[in-house]
Structure 1
Amino acid sequence: MTFRQLGLSIYPDHSNFAEDAKYLDLGHKYGFTRIFMSMLEATDPEATKAKFKKIIDYGNKLGYKTVLDVAPHIFDQLGISYSDLKVFADLGAAGVRLDTGFDGATEAMLSYNPYGLIIELNMSNDVAYLDNILSYQANEPFIYGCHNFYPQTGTGLTYDFFVRASERFKKHGIHTAAFVSSKHGDQGPWNVNDGLPTLEQHRHLPIAVQAKQLFATGLIDDVLIGNAYASEDELKALSELNRYQLQFDIDFVPAVNAVEKDVVLKPQHFRRGDVNALVVRSTMPRVTYQDELNPPHDNTIEFQRGDVLVGNDDFGHYKNELQIALEPHRDPRKNKVGRINENEISLLDYVHPWTKFRFETHHE
């Protein structure tokens, strides 16, 4: 099984060790285990190596695995060849990300490096790049994929392109990663920093919503924060989200009762397999809570997409069935008990037949 991980980004060319170490401590507290580290310049090779080794060693002691993002000119500046990755192993890195591709045979050969370094490929292209590498009999367990991030507003990937590019990797079972953007981070690789997401539509969303969508696609294993430094609140929010199933943030209506709260928060919900266009139906609660009274309230309004509904005492056999409205409709036999957070309503697109989901509330 591939476990899903959270990661941070560090930019030693633009930061200092004390601040980076403090950030890694905070990430460790919240269960982050990956570091994306950009290696952009090596004007003084020995000083560069020392600087990077110090922070990578610090991360290693905390249980992180660091992947170094390397551009072709770094190999020249460090005076090393693509056929020998020893310098990166000596730095303590777990892998290298090749921002620029080669001819396929080169990447395949690199995946057999004697140091067991991961070779991470740039996923943000919709061409047969990976297929070419695999056709040269690459060492697949050591081939990973990681999308780009985009510092300039308007230049992030479109969703459709992201899906196509990601599917090229996922169909081969390759471990994948993509970036979300912090609202507080102001450090990136360049001197333009409008946030650092992979997907353009994520640029101004709360960080947990960005991550929920990436995980919900089923195409991304690891979610990395592109810009540094994210706030503690953001790290905490990411640490609390469910990486393996959709968990909607719900705001309850004032009149919600204890039975309805139990119906929403306690069961493992799943959408019925015989789906309809009007509502998502989670039908097991009507069995579990069939003997619990549920008088009508908030039942005469027009329900809107994202409203969470529970059948009331007038709904007979369907009393205490949980539904999520997909289309506007009225039905006085249902109580509106809450509403999915506005930023997460688009995630309803990922609730397919038999999809498992849960609810959480931060407003108790």
Structure 2
Amino acid sequence: MTKRQLGLSIYPDHSNFEQDQKYLELGKKYGFSRIFMSMLEISESAAVTHNKFAKIINVANQLGYQTILDVSPSIFDRLQISYNDLSFFKDLQVAGIRLDQSFDGATEAMLTYNPYNLIIELNQSNNVAYLDNIISYQANKPFLYGCHNFYPQKGTGLPFDYFMACNRRFKKYGLHTAAFVSSNVAQMGPWKINDGLPTLEADRYLPISVQAKHLFASELIDDVIIGNAYASETELAKLAQLNKYQIEFNLQLLPNINPIEKTILFKPQHFRRGDVNTQVIRSTMPRVTYRSQTNPPHDNDIVFERGDVIIGNDDFKVYKNELQIVLQPHQDPRKNKVAHINSQELMLLDFIKPWSKFKFQKQ
């Protein structure tokens, strides 16, 4: 598995250097390591553009970021850059360029053999044979990445099924992938319309940490980038604390939870039993580890709802202290309700497959 990263976006044609520098320094504090930087809005000469972007890219490089510039064929024309000579971008000292629009396949493949080893990142939000065409021209795959679009207009983000179909095309070839989440406070993007900048429409108004969990849970996205600027320090901190490699559900604990149940919730490495059922997700090892620990009945005379976390009580005999997450409503007095998963994270239950690992954290 490719190491997963967190990224920021900045827009030098809409911001100022001091604000961008401060933002990148803050991101560095919280472990962010890549930058999406848009060039699509430039209106100045090649020399002025070069100097403006070089100044902030130099700061990014000193802080250890990997910077990828978003460009299009019109930008090549405006700056009088040839596809056969990427020295303009090499001189900017970026890690790569993202092609917001497509060429003819052969051109993209040739670009991956540029002498500067610049990453060539493709628009990943297309479920067509475009990528297959590029690969058929024997592209240099280690230098070929994918990155989704973001969608400033509400209602226009990708539906999840389409998003996954696009991802599978890229992962079929083992390519590095990225997608966007949206800050709930940031106002800056490439255009004047800014209803948030997520890739997935379903994520648009969710807390930023839930958006990121959603993308990482797909198992097909390597890098999660905040699309709009500037995210708050609180949001950066929440993403920094995120487990990028397994789902950690945010829990609301019940008042009557007892010490052994707290231990069962937060200490073990949970995984879903392989022989799955449709009623509950079963984490069965706690019943083995804590079989000698008593667990009196409480909060056990209710209908358990989807997202409830329940643990077998003393009346459940051999299943005492088994942890379960409810998928379908049911009643069973041999189980205690101990917590409920944050309602905004219930969609993440769909990603817990046979043998999937998962953890919990207190809200």
TM > 0.5 between the two?
A: yes
What code does the residue aligned with 2:315 have? D
Q: How many angstroms apart in 2 are the aligned matches of 1:138 and 1:42? A: 32
For residues 105 and 81 of structure 2, the distance between their equivalents in structure 1, rounded to whole angstroms, comes to 20
Conserved? CA contact 1:45–1:78, under 8 Å: yes
Q: Report what 1:316 is aligned to.
A: 317
1:100 partner letter: Q
Partner of 1:21: 21
Amino acid at match of 1:337: V
What is the Cα deviation at residue 44 of structure 1? 2.3
The residue type paired with residue 203 of structure 1 is: R
**3-state DSSP class of the match of 2:301?**
coil
Which residue of structure 1 aligns with residue 169 of structure 2?
168
**Equivalent residue letter for 2:111:** L
Which residue pairs with 2:351 in the alignment? 350
2:221 alignment counterpart: 220
Query: 1:127 maps to what in 2?
Result: 128
Q: CA deviation at 1:82?
A: 1.1
| Structure 1 residue 96, shift from structure 2 partner | 0.1
Shift of 1:73: 1.6
d(CA) in 1 for partners of 2:172 and 2:315? 48
After TM superposition, the structure 1 stretch with the greater mean CA deviation from structure 2, 242-251 or 42-51, is 42-51
* Alignment deviations for residues 22-71 of structure 1 (CA, whole Å, 9 cap, x no partner): 10011101100000000021422211111100111101111100000002
Contact 1:42 1:78 in 2 (8 A): no
Distance (Å, rounded) in 1 between the aligned partners of 2:305 and 2:101: 47
Q: Is the 8 A contact 1:43 1:77 kept in 2?
A: no
Q: Is the 8 A contact 1:53 1:91 kept in 2?
A: yes
Aligned residue number for residue 33 of structure 1: 33
- The Cα of 1:359 is off from its aligned counterpart by 0.6
* Superposed displacement of residue 83, structure 1: 1.2
Equivalences for 1:247-326 in 2 at 5 Å?
247-326=248-327
CA distance in 2, matches of 1:134, 1:125: 15
Measure the CA separation in 2 of the matches of 1:284 and 1:193: 47
Q: 2:74 maps to which residue?
A: 73
Unaligned runs of 5+ in 1: none
Identity %: 67
**Paired letter, 1:263:** I
Q: Any conservation in 2 of the 1:186–1:229 contact (CA below 8 Å)?
A: yes
Instruction: Give the secondary structure class of the aligned counterpart of 2:82.
Output: coil
Q: Does 1:53 align with 2:57?
A: no
Distance in 1 between residues matched to 2:256 and 2:26, nearest whole Å: 39
Contact residue 214 and residue 223 of structure 1 kept, 8 A? yes
CA positional deviation for 1:74: 1.3
CA offsets 1:125-169 (integer angstroms, 9 cap, x no match): 110111110110100000000000000010101111111111100
1:186 aligns with 2:187: yes
* Cα distance between partner residues in 1 of 2:177 and 2:157: 18
- Partners of 1:308 and 1:171 in 2: how far apart? 36
Shift of 1:361: 1.1
Q: Distance in 2 between matches of 1:203 and 1:84?
A: 38
Cα RMSD over matched residues? 0.7
* Residues 42 and 74 in structure 1, CA contact (< 8 A), matched pair in contact too: no
Alignment of 1:63 onto 2:45 = no
**3-state DSSP of counterpart to 2:53:** helix
Cα deviation for residue 258 of structure 1 reads 1.0
User: 1:328: how far off?
Assistant: 0.4
What letter is aligned with 2:231? A
| Structure 2 unaligned regions, length at least 5 | none
Secondary structure of residue in 1 paired with 2:157: coil
| CA distance in structure 2 between the partners assigned to 1:265 and 1:130 by the alignment | 43
Tell me the TM-score normalised to structure 1 length.
0.98
Tell me how far 1:251 sits from its aligned partner: 1.0
Is the 1:149–1:156 Cα contact (8 Å) retained in structure 2?
A: yes
Measured in 2, the distance between the counterparts of 1:343 and 1:89 equals: 43
Moved over 4 A (4+): none
| AA partner of residue 145 (structure 1) | G
Size of the aligned set, in residue pairs, is 362
Instruction: Say whether 1:99 aligns with 2:100.
Output: yes
Cα deviation, residue 89, structure 1: 1.1
- Secondary structure (helix, strand or coil) at the match of 2:8 reads strand
Alignment of 1:135-214 (within 5 A): 135-214=136-215
Partner secondary structure for residue 150 of structure 2: coil
In 1: Cα distance, 2:77 partner to 2:170 partner:
29
| Cα-to-partner distance string for 1:176-220 (whole Å, 9 max, x where unaligned) | 000000001100000100000000111010111111011011110
**Counterpart amino acid of 1:109?**
M
Secondary structure of 2:52's partner?
helix
| Alignment match, 1:5 | 5
Question: Tell me, what secondary structure is at the counterpart of 2:213?
Answer: helix
- Look up the SS of the partner of 1:290 in the other structure: coil
How does the TM-score come out when normalised to structure 2?
A: 0.99
